[in-house]
Amino acid sequence: MRFPANAVVCLSESELSTMPVKRNEGAREHCRVRSPADCCGALQLLWAYNQGPVALTAAKLRERLRRIFLGTVVFVLGTAILTFGVDFGVFRLRVAAQRNPYGTVVVSHSYAVQQKNGKTQFIFDPPAPETCVKALFPHSGMLPCWYLSRHPEQRTDI
């Protein structure tokens, strides 16, 4: 059976399973088709043309995108964990060796109190020095000095 190169062929399963197939000897046989591995000759090409490349390409693309996404997530998480671990280790060494692991930044603190009538009352504390850690991440319950120096006004909503 010959089809033009740009033809779209749609056959039912019964037509595929009982199609006569020519062998080299010239005898006609019926080939029972259940999977592409069961196919023979031109029928295998027909199966590959109609189903194989499209289904495999979508599956391979989906699998490749999934692997890229998971690889990126694992890389980012691994890098973050490694960075935090190194930062924590350096901080603990500075604490143990007493090499000035702490700093101070002057911070203005204010409280925003919501009243019953819908208005907000602000209560301001005078600027005071706040202890911070000289590290990339917060440690020992204190914020890093680089963060406090960029955010000198702290607000608490009550």
Q: Residue 118: what pLDDT?
A: 84
Its pTM stands at: 0.55
Q: Angle CA(105)–CA(108)–CA(110) in degrees, nearest 5?
A: 145
Residue pLDDT, tens place only, 107-150: 999 999 988 888 888 888 899 999 999 999 999 889 999 999 99
Share of the chain above pLDDT 70, in %: 65
- Summarize pLDDT for 2-29 with one digit per residue, the tens: 655 555 555 555 555 545 544 444 444 4
Structure tokens at 27: 């005898």
Rg (CA), the chain: 35
pLDDT at res. 99: 87
Beta carbons of 134 and 100 less than 8 angstroms apart: yes
What are the tokens at 117? 């009538």
